[in-house]
Amino acid sequence: MISVLFVCLGNICRSPMAEAVLRHKIAQKGLNEKITVDSAGTGDWHIGKAPHEGTRKLLDDWGISYEGMLARQVENRDFTDFDYIVAMDNSNVANLRKLPGGQDANILKFMDLLPSEKLREVPDPYFTGNFEEVYRLIDAGCEVLLDRIIEEKL
Ligand code: 4NP
């Protein structure tokens, strides 16, 4: 099983959106038995909470399930448990690097999947309120990521 972990700050806006979107694309390609997806936050404020209503609205609009998804914090074992760790912004990468095991971990920056986009970080909609923009980036980036995983690992 190939595993992917998306990481943001609170694990209620961006990384759960990416988790749900990538899982949806995996199902559409019939790859449920091959690739598994999770998400986590570097912060602990929202542990146990469902995705933010802005994220839920976008996922509802696109018919993408987020059933059962609850926020959790990054754990040290994530660095060894996951094949791909994808962080939403530079501060997420910096926070991951400070954790035990994070220094030499292979951490991808989400926007490096989309080199032609001017934005180099996924903006935090908890502060901007712009969940549509985040959905557009996440949908495009997850498409690229899934193609990359298929090419590299399957
Ligand atoms: P996320 O957004 O990292 O995309 O889940 C945030 C959610 C909550 C907070 C910050 C960012 N917060 O400060 O509580």
**13 a catalytic residue:** no
- Give Cα 34 distance to the centre of its chain: 18
Could you read off the pLDDT of 78-110 as tens digits, one per residue? 999 999 999 999 999 999 999 999 999 999 999
In the chain, the DSSP E strands lie at 2-8, 35-41, 84-87, 107-109
Q: How far is the CA of 154 from the centre of ligand 1 (A)?
A: 33
0.95 exceeded by pTM: yes
Handedness of CA 142, 147, 149, 154 (dihedral sign): positive
**124 a catalytic residue:** yes
Q: What average pLDDT score do residues 1-13 get?
A: 98
Q: How far is the CA of 138 from the centre of ligand 1 (A)?
A: 16
Q: How far is the CA of 4 from the centre of ligand 1 (A)?
A: 20
Q: For a pocket test of ligand 1, which of 5, 6, 7, 8 has the largest count of ligand atoms closer than 8 A to its C-beta?
A: 8
pLDDT score at 58: 98
Q: What average pLDDT score do residues 109-134 get?
A: 98
pLDDT score at 74: 98
